[in-house]
Amino acid sequence: MNAVLNKQTKFIDLGLIDYQQAWDYQTDLFEKTVALKIDNRKADVTEQVSTPNYLIFCSHPHVYTLGKSGDQAHLLLDEKGLADKQASFYKINRGGDITYHGPGQIVGYPILDLDNFFTDIHQYLRLLEEAVILTLADYGITSGRIDGLTGVWIDIENPDKARKICALGVKSSRWVTMHGFAFNVLTDLNYFQNIVPCGIDDKAVTSLEFELGKKPDLDKVQNKLKQHLAKLFEFDLIED
C-alpha cells in the first residue's frame, strides 16, 4: 500500500498514433511507475512519494495485436495479406488473444497504480467494462457481460446473436496496469474478418455506428466514456 494515496489521474489524448509509438509511450510510463514503487519500498515512510496515474485515449492505423496467451493461427493473413490490407501485426505482452485496432476506435490505456484505488484485478476489469456499458446506455443501447468472456457484449441473452463491441486485454505488475480496452465506435468491421477475434469463432463483432444505424460523434462518445471512468474509479481527473 502506498504511504501517500493519489487519485489524481492525468488524461492524455494521443489521437491517431502508430501502435509501436503508443506501446513505447505507455511502457515508459508503466516502467517509471513500477520503479517508483520499488524505490518507495526501500525508502523511509516520510520519504515516500505518491505514484502517478494516467488515462490515455488514442486510436491506431490498422493493426492486429496478439496477446501472450494467444494463438497466431487466429491471424488469417500472411505477410502479403497484411500488406494488401495496409495493416501491421504485433505480438505483445498483454493477456488475451488476437484483436484489431483501427481508426474510429477508442483505445484506452489506463496506466494506474491500483494501490491508489483498490488491489483487485477482476474489479479493475469489471469497472472498465462498466464504463463502456454506461456509455452505450447513454445512446439507448443495452449491453452487458457474458460469463467466462471478458469485454462488453450486445444481445447477451441470445447466444446466437451475441456480438462484442469492446475488447479488453491488460498487463499488471506490482498493481500497476497497462494496455486496456478497445471500444468500436466508427470502426471498419471488415478488418475483423481477417482474424478469429479474441480466439472466439462463434461470436460476431459490432460497433456503435452499426448498432445505431448512424455515425455518432466520436469526440462526444469519448467524453462520455472518460467521465464514466472518472466516476467509477473516483479519479480526480487532470486535463491539459
Domains: count for the chain: 1
Domain at 140, CATH number = 3.30.930.10
* pLDDT for residue 136 is more than 60: yes
What is the mean predicted confidence (pLDDT) over 77-87? 95
Range of the domain at 228: 8-239
Average pLDDT for residues 59-88, to the nearest whole number?
94
Task: Write down the catalytic residue from 125, 195, 198, 225.
Answer: 198
SS3 content of the chain, % helix, strand, coil (to 5): 35, 30, 35
- State the average pLDDT for the chain: 94
Q: What is the pLDDT of residue 1?
A: 53
The stretch 69-87 carries a mean pLDDT of 93
- pLDDT for the residue numbered 2: 55
Q: What pTM did the predictor assign? A: 0.94
User: Over the stretch 1-58, which tens digit does the pLDDT of each residue have?
Assistant: 556 789 999 999 999 999 999 999 999 999 999 999 999 988 888 788 999 999 999 9
Residue 2 in any domain: the answer is no
- The answer to whether residue 23 sits within a structural domain is yes
pLDDT > 70? residue 115? yes
Answer yes or no: is pLDDT of 162 > 90: yes
- Mean pLDDT on 80-108: 94
In a domain, 1, yes or no: no
H or E segment to which residue 134 belongs: helix 121-138
| Residue 198 is a catalytic residue | yes
In a domain, 57, yes or no: yes
Candidate from 14-18, 137-141, 147-151 with smallest mean pLDDT = 147-151
Q: What gap in Å lies between CA 203 and CA 150, rounded to an integer?
A: 13
SS3 40: helix
Cα distance from N-terminal residue to C-terminal residue, the chain: 28
Rounded CA separation 174/207 (Å) = 34
Per the listing, cell 457474458 goes with 146
Q: Is the pLDDT of residue 156 over 90?
A: yes
**Residues above pLDDT 90, as percent of the chain:** 85
Mean pLDDT of 159-165: 92
pLDDT, mean of residues 183-193: 96
